[in-house]
Amino acid sequence: MKLIPWRSKKDGGEIRPSESSTSITRFRDEVDRLFDRLFEDPFGMIREPLATPGGWAPTLDVVESDKEVMVRAEVPGMDPKDIDITVSGNVLTLSGEKRDSVEDKGDNWYHCERRFGTFRRNVQLPSYVDMNKVSAEHANGVLTIHIDKVSSAAPKKVTVKPAAT
């Protein structure tokens, strides 16, 4: 077994064996890189997919059936008038602003919290959706958007005939 010299980044960089790189060494290098990222920005890997200028974005479910593409967004506490939905080209854009404040008073205490932020999510749609047939509904903190498919995109069943001999 060979020992591999190691120096931290503070000591002037890492020493890595280039010619005797094994799968264990490559695995260790990858784990080291992940730990370095974790300690440099602990929430970076979690935050990146939903990063927006306001710091908040609703989670989305995109479901495709034979007749439509359905997009569900979790927007708890939001008023539907604060949500904008646009379709341009084959991109569905969901944007808005969340404003929420709680104020509670007692005899000798006061509690006030405010949460706000803007968001913007883009969803790439398939080319076979009908941009003129888009509808949306909001219930119980969930926004549901229905986009119909064009009729020519419906699956067609093909029967297989035996070959003539």
> Given a cut of 50, is residue 20 above it in pLDDT?
no
> Given a cut of 80, is residue 133 above it in pLDDT?
yes
Amino acid at 97: E
- The number of C-alpha atoms within 13 Å of 95 and in the hemisphere containing its C-beta is 11
In this predicted model, what pLDDT tens digit does every residue of 96-130 receive, in sequence order?
988 778 888 888 888 888 777 888 999 999 888 88
Provide the pLDDT for residue 13: 53
**Residue 127 to residue 116: CA distance in whole angstroms:** 35
Q: How confident is the model at residue 15 (pLDDT cuts 50, 70, 90)?
A: low
Tell me, rounded to whole angstroms, the distance of Cα 65 from its chain centroid: 21
Higher pLDDT residue, 114 or 64? 64
CA nearest to 102, candidates 90, 112, 92, 110? 112
Provide the pLDDT for residue 12: 54
Tell me, rounded to whole angstroms, the distance of Cα 77 from its chain centroid: 20
Provide the pLDDT for residue 61: 92
Provide the pLDDT for residue 51: 46
In this predicted model, what pLDDT tens digit does every residue of 137-157 receive, in sequence order?
999 989 999 999 887 766 778
24 is written with which tokens?
A: 């264990």
